[in-house]
Amino acid sequence: MSSSGTTSPLVAKDDEILENPIGEEEESLERNSTEENDSGDEAASASAVNPSTNDAAQIVPLLQNLLLNNDIQRERLTGLFQLYAPAAVDTNANVNTEEDEQTAREAALSSQVHFLEQSVQMLEEEVENQKKLNAQRGSWCEDRVLSLLSSQTAREAALSSQVHFLEQSVQMLEEEVENQKKLNAQLEEQIKRLTTSSDPERQD
């Protein structure tokens, strides 16, 4: 989370802490070895004087060395903890902040998705209602067209019947006119005959 400019001093401190305990540990080991030699000499002299104190003289320096090493390790761990604990707190704070931001973004996205789902559902319902309305209108229009077609067909049939009747009437009238013409021609012939037959009597 921190930049390189801030991490380099931490690394330097870490190195110093790691190097210093190592040097101290070497010095402590030298001191312990010297003490062990001295204690060994003392133990040898003591064993020569009192053999029962030989075991105690060998165990006590070892216990002292363990206690010293434990103190050194404790100091080292304490320094490392003090060095890295603030960075760990900052890291946890940054992680918590990122988690809060992520949670807020997820909540906003979830709200948008819920709104879009509701909008889509409303649009689907509107489309279904429009389909039903169009189906009703289509059925009414179809019935109306069929009614108009049937009425048109009926009118056309009536007109066709009237035309056929008129054609027959005209044909009958034409035939009657022809018959009347023939009758008139016959009457004219008879009139001519009568006229010619009556003319000699007039001359006498």
For residue 26, being part of any structural domain is answered with yes
pTM of the model: 0.30
For residue 198, being part of any structural domain is answered with no
CA dist 186 and 188 (Å) reads 5
pLDDT tens across the length of the chain (204 residues): 433 344 434 433 444 444 444 445 455 555 655 555 555 555 445 444 454 567 777 788 888 888 888 888 888 888 887 777 665 555 665 667 778 888 888 889 998 999 999 999 999 999 999 999 988 888 888 888 888 888 888 888 888 889 999 999 999 999 999 999 999 999 988 888 888 877 655 544
Helical residues (DSSP H) of the chain, grouped into ranges: 4-49, 54-203
Digit-coded pLDDT (tens) for 113-131: 999 999 999 999 999 999 9
DSSP state of 51: G
For residue 25, being part of any structural domain is answered with yes
Decide if 19 contacts 76 (C-beta within 8 A). no
The CB density around residue 87, as the number of other CB atoms within 10 Å, is: 14
For residue 45, being part of any structural domain is answered with yes
- Domain region containing 119: 4-142
Number of domains the chain contains? 1
For residue 157, being part of any structural domain is answered with no
For residue 168, being part of any structural domain is answered with no
For residue 184, being part of any structural domain is answered with no
